[in-house]
Amino acid sequence: MANALYDTLFAPHRGSEAVFLHLPDGSTVTYGRFLGRIAQFAHILTAQGLRPGDRLAAQIHKSPDALALYGACVQAGIIFLPLNTAYTGAELGYFLENSGASLLICDPDLTPDTATPTLTLTATGTGTLPDAAANRPTTFDTIPRGPDDLAAFLYTSGTTGRSKGAMLSHKNLLSNAQTLATHWRFTADDTLLHALPIFHTHGLFVGTNIMLLTGGSMVFLPKLDTDQLITHMPQATTMMGVPTFYTRLLADPRFDAKLTAHMRLFISGSAPLLADTHMQFETRTGHRILERYGMTETNMNTSNPYDGERRAGTVGQPLPGVELRIADPDTGAPLPRGEIGQIEVRGDNVFQGYWQMPEKTAEELRPDGFFQTGDLAREDADGYIHIVGRAKDLIITGGYNVYAKEVESLLDAFPGVLESAVVAAPHPDLGEAPVAILARAGDTDPDTDSLAQSLQDTLARFKQPRHYLVVDALPRNTMGKVQKAALRATVADVFQPS
C-alpha cells in the first residue's frame, strides 16, 4: 500500500534542484534538500518510539524545519498536531492530554511543564531535534498509509469552551489541494508569497500543500510584515492572506498598481473581507481579490471564480466535488434559494469526526454525511453564497477563531462580574475583534485593567477582549436568552475612528 499524501505531494520532488523556499535573507531551499530534511526528521521520530497513528504535537515558530516536521510526520505515518504559538501552558496541557500525544516539539522558550516527551526546535534551526537529526540519513522508507488513514488533528474551539480535535485524513487533505490547485490555476511557474502561520489550515493545508502538489515555490516569510510583503512581492505571482493583509497593504502608499503588475492572483479567506476593502484594492491595483470560504473541519468549501465575476460580499460558489446546501438547522431539509439557513457540506474534503467525541461527531455530521457548519447564509440566484451570521457566536479576528463561551467562562469567574457576554465588533484591521460586556455583581464596577492582566496568563492574545463595557444587566428575551444581536449593535462602533 502506498502513502497517499506523501507519494503525491512530496515524493515526486526527490532529488530535485528546483527551488522550493525563498527565505527573507536571500537564501533558498531546494526541493531535494527539503525532502532530505524530512527524512532525517522521520528517522528521529521513529527512534523516539513513534509508530503509525501516534500523535505528535508541535508548538514551534514558522521555519523551513517546522515545515519539514510536517512532512516527516506524513512520511512516517504519524498524525501531525500543529498548535498556535500563542497558546498558554494551560491551553497546551489540554491539547497534549486530550490528543494523547506521544511527543511534543516546541521552541525552547515555550517549553512547558509536561510529562510528555519533548524535543526542541527554534525558528533559526537549532534545538535538540535538529541536533539529533544532523547525521541521520537523508532517505527514509516511507510508511504505507491509505486515503482514509489520519494525517492530522486540528483543534477547533466549541461553544462549550472545550476544544475539539478535528480528524483529517490523507484523502481530506489531498482532495482539497487537488481541487484548489486546479480551480485557482496553480502551476510550477507560480511563486506564492507566504506570510501566513503554518499551525493553521490556511497556511499549511491550503498554501503549502498546493505548492507541493504543483511544484511551485514560496517566498517563506516568518509572519505578516507589510515591509516584507512589499519587498518580496516582485518575486511572487500569487498571495494568500486574511483581510488584515490587505487592509495593511492598502494603508501603505508604496502598494500600488506598479508593484502588483506582475501578480496573477490575490486570495483572501479565514475572515470576512469588507466590500470597501474589495473596492479599494481594485481601484488601487486593478486586481480583484478572490474570496473563498472554508473551515478547520473541511478545508475549503467555496470560492469565487478564477474566470468570471468575483462578487464582493460573497464567498463564491461550491468548489468542484463539494456538495453544499442551505438547510433548516433543525431538520437538514434544503431551503429554497434566497432563504437564510445553515450551510451544510459533504465531500472528500469533510473531516472524519472529532477525536474521542463520538456524541459531538454525531451531532454535527448528519447520517447522510453532510457536516453542519454552524454558519448561516443564503444562496443567490446565481449560486453565490452570502454568509450572514454564525450560529455558534464564532468571532474571527485576524483569521483566528474565537468562541465566546471559552472567554466568558473566565470573565464570569472574576470578582465583581455577575455574568458576561463576548461578541464581535467590526475592526478596521482585524476584520472583527472580541468585546466583553460585563454585568456588575454589585454597586462597584469590576476592575477591567486587572481582569485584562489576568487573561494574559490563561488565554492566547487573539482571544483576549480588545474592549470592555460594564453594564447593569445583560439584555434578555422572554425565554431568558441573552440578546447578543442587541449587544453587537451597542458595541458596533467601538473600534471605528471618532
Could you tell me which residues come within 8 angstroms of residue 69 by beta carbon, excluding any fewer than 6 positions away?
41, 56, 58, 60, 80, 105, 121, 129
Rounded distance between C-alpha atoms, residue 397 and residue 466, angstroms: 11
* Side-chain half-sphere CA neighbours of 29 within 13 A: 19
Taking only the tens place, the pLDDT of each residue in 314-332 is 999 999 999 999 999 888 9
Taking only the tens place, the pLDDT of each residue in 270-285 is 877 878 889 999 999 9
Cα–Cα nearest to 365, from 354, 356, 379, 349: 354
pLDDT at 481 over 70: no
Instruction: Compute CA 389 distance to the chain's CA centroid, rounded to the nearest angstrom.
Output: 19
pLDDT at 372 over 70: yes
Rounded distance between C-alpha atoms, residue 299 and residue 202, angstroms: 8
One DSSP character per residue, 408-457 reads HHHHHTSTTEEEEEEEEEEETTTEEEEEEEEEESSSS---HHHHHHHHTT
Q: Where are the alpha helices (DSSP H) in 58-186?
A: 64-76, 89-99, 128-133, 170-183
Nearest 5°: phi and psi at 119? Answer: -120, 160
Helix (H, G, I), strand (E, B) or coil at 190: coil
List, in order of start, the domains of the chain with CATH numbers: 4-376 (3.40.50.12780), 394-490 (3.30.300.30)
Rounded mean pLDDT, 11-32: 97
Taking only the tens place, the pLDDT of each residue in 253-270 is 999 999 999 999 999 988
Rounded distance between C-alpha atoms, residue 225 and residue 356, angstroms: 38
Q: pTM of the predicted model, to two decimals?
A: 0.84
Helix (H, G, I), strand (E, B) or coil at 66: helix
What whole-number percentage of the chain has pLDDT above 90? 80
Beta bridge partners of 379: 385
Beta bridge partners of 106: 59, 120
Q: Which of 39-48, 238-247, 273-282 has the lowest mean pLDDT?
A: 273-282
Q: What pLDDT does 392 receive?
A: 63
| Residue 91: pLDDT band with limits 50, 70, 90 | confident
pLDDT at 294 over 90: yes
Taking only the tens place, the pLDDT of each residue in 105-123 is 999 987 778 899 999 999 9
Q: What pLDDT does 160 receive?
A: 45
pLDDT at 477 over 70: no
Cα–Cα nearest to 435, from 386, 493, 368: 493
Beta carbons of 430 and 244 less than 8 angstroms apart: yes
pLDDT at 452 over 90: yes
Q: What pLDDT does 45 receive?
A: 98
Rounded mean pLDDT, 393-407: 82
Q: Which of 39-43, 110-114, 383-387, 492-496 has the lowest mean pLDDT?
A: 110-114
What whole-number percentage of the chain has pLDDT above 70? 97
Q: What pLDDT does 29 receive?
A: 98
Q: What pLDDT does 390 receive?
A: 67
| Residue 424: pLDDT band with limits 50, 70, 90 | very high
| Residue 158: pLDDT band with limits 50, 70, 90 | very low
pLDDT at 146 over 50: yes
Beta strands 217-220 and 19-22 are parallel
Rounded mean pLDDT, 243-252: 92
| Residue 388: pLDDT band with limits 50, 70, 90 | confident
Taking only the tens place, the pLDDT of each residue in 199-226 is 999 999 999 999 999 999 999 999 999 9
Rounded distance between C-alpha atoms, residue 486 and residue 63, angstroms: 44
Q: What pLDDT does 480 receive?
A: 54
Q: What pLDDT does 479 receive?
A: 42
